[in-house]
């Protein structure tokens, strides 16, 4: 009986150590996130599972599980993101929600959208055509959209979808990013409630650096979710093997 009890305690101790190691890794190193919307298409697709690096920008309470920890305007080992980084963050108006967008503006930047074209610090960003892509909806439908490559002031390039050049999202006032905050935008420019839209209007607004969770590094896996509405024997066809382990840029 003593032998069995000792063995059980050993196994329990090993199990607890494994759980602690996994939780510690999620806090310190990396954490997975699921993409439920198309606001970051064509970079991210609905159904992508992302791996984020938790150490890229240092640590805040939102690096912890469940957001436990004291509020602070700075982060432990803080490092500001670069323009063009794709980031998972806690929504300022509702920190229970995780969002993923691209960093476009840093503290002190002046941003404006004029006729669908983005300006940063009084300079219009270069854009070139990049064919046509398919914008997917959560119900499984899709539609073709013009695809472009936008170049940020630091030289980083990324794809965007753009279907129109008019409307309130495409002709904005000047945004001045406050200290300790970031300006986020979705790559699906006409289908993203981001920092262009005030929180009281359902948007994101400026994002405090405290709210950053981690930098999206690569796509762990991807699954076309609407295929589950089909017979179960067809579900395997929804796995997007070509997106597995794709680097996010």
pLDDT tens digit sequence for 56-68: 898 888 877 655 6
Rounded to 10 degrees, the C-alpha dihedral 191/245/86/240 comes to 0
pLDDT at 217: 95
- φ, ψ dihedrals at 101, nearest 5°: -145, 180
Q: How far apart are CA 97 and CA 60, in angstroms?
A: 16
**79 given a catalytic annotation:** no
* pTM of the full structure: 0.83
58 Rama class: left (phi>0) / alpha (psi -120 to 50) / beta: left
Q: Has 39 been annotated as catalytic?
A: yes
Catalytic, out of 54, 60, 63, 101: 101
Q: Which position among 39, 60, 63, 195 bears the catalytic label?
A: 39
Q: How far is CA 245 from the centre of its chain?
A: 16
| Separation CA 136–CA 186 (nearest Å) | 15
Give the span between the Cα atoms of 164 and 169, in whole angstroms: 10
- Locus of tokens 């840093």: 106
pLDDT tens profile 237-247: 678 889 998 99
Over range 220-241, report the average pLDDT. Answer: 72
Question: What's residue 3's pLDDT?
Answer: 45
Domains and CATH numbers, the chain: 2-247 (2.10.109.10)
Q: If we measure between CA atoms, which residue out of 46, 43, 30, 37 comes closest to residue 91?
A: 37
Q: How confident is the model at residue 226 (pLDDT cuts 50, 70, 90)?
A: low
221: left (phi over 0), alpha (psi -120 to 50) or beta: beta
In the block, tokens 């960003």 appear at 125
Assess contact for 175 and 108: CB atoms under 8 A.
no
């Amino acid at each position: 009986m003593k032998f069995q009890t000792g063995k059980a305690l050993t196994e329990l101790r090993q199990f607890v150590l494994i759980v602690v190691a996994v939780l510690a890794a999620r806090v310190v190193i990396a954490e997975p996130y699921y993409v439920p919307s198309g606001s970051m298409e064509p970079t991210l697709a609905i159904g992508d599972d992302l791996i984020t690096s938790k150490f890229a920008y240092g640590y805040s309470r939102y690096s912890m599980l469940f957001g436990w920890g004291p509020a602070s305007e700075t982060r432990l080992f803080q490092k500001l993101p670069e323009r063009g980084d794709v980031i998972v963050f806690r929504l300022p108006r509702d920190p229970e929600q995780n969002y993923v967008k691209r960093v476009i503006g840093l503290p002190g930047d002046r941003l404006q959208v004029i006729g669908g074209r983005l300006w940063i610090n009084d300079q219009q960003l270069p854009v070139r055509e990049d064919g046509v892509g398919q914008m997917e909806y959560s119900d499984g439908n899709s539609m073709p959209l013009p695809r472009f490559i936008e170049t940020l002031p630091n030289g980083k390039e990324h794809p965007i979808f753009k279907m129109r050049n008019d409307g309130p999202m495409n002709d904005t006032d000047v945004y001045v990013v406050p200290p300790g905050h970031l300006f986020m935008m979705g790559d699906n420019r006409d289908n993203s409630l981001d920092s262009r839209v005030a929180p009281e209007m359902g948007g994101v607004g400026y994002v405090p650096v405290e709210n950053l969770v981690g930098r999206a590094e690569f796509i762990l896996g991807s699954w076309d979710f609407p295929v589950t509405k089909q017979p179960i024997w067809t579900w395997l066809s929804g796995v997007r093997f070509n997106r597995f382990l794709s680097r996010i840029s």
